[in-house]
Structure 1
Amino acid sequence: MPPASTTIRIRVRMSARAIDEPHRASSQLELLFDLTFVVAVAAVTAQFAHSIADGHALTGLVPFLQVFFAIWWAWMNFTWFASAYDTDDVAYRLLTMVQMAGVLVLAAGVPAAAEHSDFRIVTLGYLVMRIGLVAQWLRAGLEDPAGRRTALRYAAGLSILQLGWILRFLLAEAGGLPAFADLPSYVGLAILELAVPRWAGGARATNWHPHHIAERYGLFTIILLGESVLAASRGVERALEADEISSPFIVIAVCGLVLLFALWWLYFLIESGEGLHDRRHRSWLWGYGHYGIFAALAALGAGLEVAVEQSGHDIAASPLALGYAVAIPVAVYLAALWAVHALVAEPVIRPAAVVVCVTGILLLPLASRPIGVAGVVAAITAGCVLLVAVTIATTAVRARAGVRRPEPEPSSSGVS
């Protein structure tokens, strides 16, 4: 049998890929790129779990959201660029590796950012990522005349904002940025970051592939669900250090897995590729709306980790705080998921069911003293499982009704 031939793409002229390219799927390079985000998300989730366990959940929430925004936005920028311009040649691979290195540097700086508000390493990691990304956009502008203006706008916008992040950091280090202005300056720069795609795409939209984008978002959702499993396993490990397997420990561990499975089920009830194909103008809202989904899953991992851990030994956080550490992320996830689904398709989850489920979940932690944290987690899980069951049942009923609906009789003029 002759050896398989290997094709090495040394250099491919960068041009916009077709939006209807058949069988477009995530490449091996994209999957490898995602692995660096596994490290970054694990770092930020672990730090938020420490804040919750120490009774400082609210204090740790802002650093968590700030660092997670940086992680999410870096992933977003790479994903949408790759959907439009992935050439998979040597230069593209090397610049992707530079971005991967930046993610790992950012992940290394998460503990200092969360514990001491020291963003030096995080800022450095983001700078490294931006160097690789801006170089990709400059290459696209040079080699793709049709998309040159859009590509150069992206490169300019990202470069200017990166200078803004560095200036903000230098001012903070030198004491020139008052404490009260720290968060507003961050929010202002983040809003400008979100505005870059709208501004750059105003010249000419990039040729992103709807089914490829839907698959990439689904894969990142699975990564975050996996991070929640990992976080819960860390809690299991610490709980087992007490050398006692209690009934609350078993309940939380089992319900945590069932809860994550239910949330996975709900996300993949809709195949978003077709919806994005038909409603491309809503893609930016759909993409941005996933920040709530992704951040909620990461926060849920931290909440489950501490909930499992407290079943083995005492921690500083109160049962009420632990209940809300699980309830709030689940509620945010469900609300954001319904909104995102509604942007590109008719939601299969009924709005009334979402409202009832979210309301019940947010009220459950109030009963944490009589039923315990394990009881709260079990009840939240039961609510999500019930939502899955109700959605499947109503979808089946509507499908049968659609099949049985008689075709209208043709009129005498032949127009139905």
Structure 2
Amino acid sequence: MITAYINARIIDPCTGYDGNGTLVTEGQTIAAFGPNVKAPADAAIVDCHGRVLCPGFIDMRAHRVDAESALKGGITTVILQPDQTTIIDTDAVVERIRRRSEDSETVHVFPMGTATRGMQGSQIAEIGQMLQSGAVGFTDCRTPVSDSQVMRRLLEYANHFGALIVQFAEDKSLSCGAVAHEGEISTRLGLTGVPAAAEVIQIERDARLAELTGARIHFALISSRDGVEAIRAAKKRGIKVTCSTAPHYLHLNDNALEGYRTFAKVRPPLRSEEDRLALVAGLADGTIDTVVSDHDPKSADVKRLPFSQAAEGLVGFETLLPLTLAPVHSGHIELMTLLRALTSKPAELLGLPSGRLDQGAPADLVIFDPDKPWRIAQDDLLSSAKNMPFDTLPVQGQVWQTIVAGKALYSAA
């Protein structure tokens, strides 16, 4: 089937292209795009009415698939974390997930395997076998690899395969028992806090190990000013280090915990306003490479509990675009920079063929109106749970259509 998307503002973050024109897909790939491209006579016509058309979003960190929710959020590729009911720590599990994804006509799913067996931090997982079966990276999720010798061997082993190791930037001993950021808010609420130093200590140690081994390392969910500065310093030294953050860290600070709001309980915790502003600046200047949803649906049964007992995590697929557009609308981040962090940069880190507009590239696309105002409503979410602190928040920017392998799988009413 041939489809022509006309009157679109076409943006390709991979090349920096930004212009009005037409994009044509043929089957599962892109056939052509540009200002002078004409719609073939036999093409189905989709008039974008000036909306942005760009590569579909690649979410590097999700704990559940929630395909309908992902598609509504403009996400065409979900990177599934290994903390599933059956932990993703063998090639058989990886292969099963990849086959299921390939057989379904919905969002692409690529798993990350565990970095250590059972995410226990003591024995290196079978990275080579999982890589061959389709794993795109290796992480122990919210459990940092604490043993320096294990981490060194892990990086050496991964470097042999060119594999990406993703580390949770949090010193385990400093964060033990903590449920909030260590600061004025946690002190006033009587909550055990974790200092931002826990993030920096983990980053600086592992950056040194990456420098020693020559391996690539990616830090998930940077949340502090000092964390941004540590990443910036490591990059200046030429270390192969990258990092991500999530929209809630760009949008909220620890004031969101007032009233013991458990829907704002995440890990790492929301930090100070100074930290939030540093994250926005870090994304703007390229220190922070990617933005992830950290989508983690949790039922009210485990979220509506006393703060110290409540589960961590929030849903993030459907709010990924509007929340990350907020600093664009305020003039702090360029739209091209933001879209690069959602498309071409994660594709580059994970070795995926998507995330770019090119002849023959996968027709995984999103069309959105960056200025459309709307109000987030929990009851309207397609996610399997509704746990998030953004209910009733007015935002700008909404997905209009999501195309996976040339097929429109989501269209706004």
Q: TM-score, normalised by structure 2?
A: 0.27
- The structure with more radius of gyration: 1
Q: TM-score, normalised by structure 1?
A: 0.27
